[in-house]
Structure 1
Amino acid sequence: MKFHLAINLERMTPETDMIAVRDHTLDMVRMADAAGFEIVWAAEHHALEMTIAPNPFQILTWWGEHAPNIRLGVGVVNAAYWHPINLAGEAAFLDLTSNGRLEFGIGSGAYQREFDRMKPGLDQRDSWRYMQEMLPVVQKLWAGDYAHDGEFWQFPTATSCPKPLQAQVPVWVAARAPITFDYAVEHGCNILSWPLTMPFSEAEAYRARLDASIERNGGRYDGSWAVMRHAAVYETEEDREGAIASVRGVLGQFGNLMMQKGEVINGFPEPVPLEELDGNVRVDPEMLEENLMFGRPEEVARKLRMYEQIGVDAFVYYASMGMDMAQQKRSLALFIDRVMPEFAQKELVDAG
């Protein structure tokens, strides 16, 4: 199993210093780089302090200058917010300046609030159509001159300047719905899945959807499947309580955005009372500790083996969930020092 890091520039309150957030985020990326993480992921979100990510290519260029080994994942760009020529050029420029480390992730977005501001009139539930038109256009622009006359974009002959350094840029699709699994498998894309706070059975359901898509595609699929979970590794009761309280606080803001309840004031979503959250957002403390990648090092390793057994190729350690910066670093250090070595030893045994 490979390991990835997903981290945001994150402010939960106006009192948090933005310079401290900037420096902390880079420290975490450097830790992952030194530990041998395969990919670091930067998101795209707009006008939200809890996920400050107006341009993932800019963030990844910055990280890549300070972390020379880790691959740079766009996790993920929202197709509906971009023009294909612009997107192709931005992505290719990152690949060029990072010496071929781009991992290109594309998806359909999450929050209707963002669509109402970035793409007024578009229902988030329909945005997958933009993603499915965008991806092949970007790939054709990377290859050379191309003219497009599609449903959402039309332009005369153009090309991506620059071109990617990699002959074949790895492509990732954010997938939970069967239609997106089908698209990813048919087009040979890698897959990113996030079960939110749902139980392990949700990941098993994604595996079933992936297997069904592979069967419909004639049994052919050479891509990788990565699953992301909020992660907190701890040894003390104080850190355990801090992690659970922090993720519950984030879920209150996340619920505001997903359920469109409450206001967003100066970039900070008003938290929804936890008792009002439902659907995919589960907030019971014991259930959160069981469902998420929470626990002492040996417990986290046990959970990871469950994901490995259902065929997860990479685990995405999602570090941003409102924990204070010192605890985030303690957690990542424990994961690196006490969890990852068990999987490195297993790979050596398997290779032998």
Structure 2
Amino acid sequence: MKFQLAVNMERIDDSYDMKDVARHTLEMVQIAEEGGFDIVWAAEHHALEMTIAPNPFQLLTWWSHETSTIRLGTAVATAAYWHPINLAGEAAFVDLISGGRLEFGIGSGAYQREFDRMRPGLKQSDAWRYMQEMLPAVRALWRGDYAHDGEYWSFPTSTSVPKPVQPEVPVWVAARSPITYDYAVREKCNVNCWPLTRPFAEAELYMRQLNEAIAKADNGWSPRFALMRHACLYDNDADRQEALNAIRRLLSQFENLFRNTGDVVNGFPKAIPLDELEGREQYDPAMLEENLMFGSPDTAIRKLKDYQALGVNEFIYYASMGLSHEAQQRSLRMFVKEVMPEFREAR
């Protein structure tokens, strides 16, 4: 099994200085590289302190100068916020400056709040159309001169400057719905998925959708398939409680964003009081501890083997969840030391 890290510059409140946030994020990337992680992913979000990533390519360029082997991915560049020429050039520059380490992840975007600011009038539910037009244009620009006349973008003959170092940049699509799985396999992309806090059955659903898409495409393409879960390892009750408190607080802020309540002050989404959420399945501590990559190293190994038996052979360790910097690093080091060797020996 291969392991990947998703980590954000994040602030849940203003108790951390931004310089400390940046330092911690880089240290997490370096711990992952030293521990043998394959890829580290940077997101794209705007005007939100909980994910400080206005341009994922800036983050990857920064990390590329402080690492040497770990591959560098966008998870994801939000297609509707970019122009194809701009996106192709930014991505290719990262590939150049990193020595050919780019993993290009593209997706539709998450929050209507962001679309209201970045692409006013566009519904998040329609943004997949932009992604499906964007990707072929970017790939064509990487190859050379290309003119585009589409539904959302039109431009005369142009090209990506610079060009990627890699002859074929690996492309990843964030997929949840059957239409996106079909598109990813048809376009010969790899797939990453995020079951949020849903149970193992959600991963089974995504695997079925992937297999159905492969059969439908019948083009010889077998994508890499990576599954992401929030992750925190602990070996005592105090650390367990810290992890559960952190993820519940974070999820209450996500709830605010998904509802698009507008209750965001200076970049910080207000947490919906947990007493308003009691009894709702997605916030139940026992459910969260079971469904997420939470628990002891032995518990994590058991869960990963269940995913491996399902056919998931790449796991994305999602570190950012409002935990203290010390707890995040302690958990990641524990994962590297006590979990990953089990899967190295099994390869």
| Residue 332 of structure 2 is aligned to residue 332 of structure 1 | yes
Q: Which position in structure 1 is the counterpart of 2:267?
A: 267
1:196–1:281 contact (8 Å) kept in structure 2: no
Assess, with a 3 A threshold, how the Cα gap between structure 1 residues 203 and 238 changes in structure 2: closer, same or farther. Answer: same
Letter in 2 for 1:24: H
Assess, with a 3 A threshold, how the Cα gap between structure 1 residues 152 and 65 changes in structure 2: closer, same or farther. Answer: same
1:305-339 Cα shifts (integer Å, max 9, x gaps) = 01111111210000000100000011001000000
| Residue 222 of structure 2 is aligned to residue 222 of structure 1 | yes
Q: Which position in structure 2 is the counterpart of 1:311?
A: 311
Assess, with a 3 A threshold, how the Cα gap between structure 1 residues 120 and 135 changes in structure 2: closer, same or farther. Answer: same
Aligned residues: 346
Letter in 1 for 2:205: A
2:186–2:219 contact (8 Å) kept in structure 1: no
State the 1:218 CA deviation.
2.3
State the 1:211 CA deviation.
1.0
| Residue 173 of structure 2 is aligned to residue 173 of structure 1 | yes
Q: Which position in structure 1 is the counterpart of 2:184?
A: 184
1:251–1:281 contact (8 Å) kept in structure 2: no
Across the aligned residues of Structure 1 and Structure 2, the Cα RMSD in angstroms comes to 1.3
| Residue 97 of structure 2 is aligned to residue 94 of structure 1 | no
Task: Write the distance in 2 (CA, Å) between the matches of 1:43 and 1:215.
Answer: 31
Task: Write the distance in 2 (CA, Å) between the matches of 1:250 and 1:256.
Answer: 10
State the 1:189 CA deviation.
0.3
1:113–1:257 contact (8 Å) kept in structure 2: yes
1:32-73 Cα shifts (integer Å, max 9, x gaps) = 011110000000000000000000000011011111110000
Structure 2 unmatched runs, 5+: none
Letter in 1 for 2:288: L
Letter in 2 for 1:187: E
1:214–1:221 contact (8 Å) kept in structure 2: yes
1:143-177 Cα shifts (integer Å, max 9, x gaps) = 00000000000000000000000000000000000
Letter in 2 for 1:335: F
State the 1:265 CA deviation.
0.2
2:174–2:191 contact (8 Å) kept in structure 1: yes
Taking structure 1 as the reference length, what is the TM-score of the superposition? 0.96
Q: Which position in structure 2 is the counterpart of 1:67?
A: 67
1:254-297 Cα shifts (integer Å, max 9, x gaps) = 1100112351000000112346559x981100000000000000
Secondary structure of 2:14's match?
coil
State the 1:214 CA deviation.
1.2
Taking structure 2 as the reference length, what is the TM-score of the superposition? 0.98
* Identity value in percent: 60
Letter in 1 for 2:171: V
State the 1:16 CA deviation.
1.5
| Residue 233 of structure 2 is aligned to residue 233 of structure 1 | yes
1:262–1:272 contact (8 Å) kept in structure 2: no
Structure 1 unmatched runs, 5+: 348-352
Q: Which position in structure 1 is the counterpart of 2:120?
A: 120
Letter in 1 for 2:68: P
State the 1:208 CA deviation.
0.8
Letter in 1 for 2:114: E
Letter in 2 for 1:327: A
Which structure 2 residues correspond to residues 181-220 of structure 1 after superposition, within 5 A?
A: 181-218=181-218, 220=220
Task: Write the distance in 2 (CA, Å) between the matches of 1:313 and 1:92.
Answer: 28
State the 1:27 CA deviation.
0.5
Q: Which position in structure 2 is the counterpart of 1:137?
A: 137
Q: Which position in structure 2 is the counterpart of 1:15?
A: 15
Assess, with a 3 A threshold, how the Cα gap between structure 1 residues 160 and 262 changes in structure 2: closer, same or farther. Answer: closer
Which structure 2 residues correspond to residues 154-173 of structure 1 after superposition, within 5 A?
A: 154-173=154-173
| Structure 1, 266-275 or 197-206: larger mean CA deviation | 266-275
Structure 1 residue ranges, 4+ long, deviating more than 6 angstroms after superposition = none
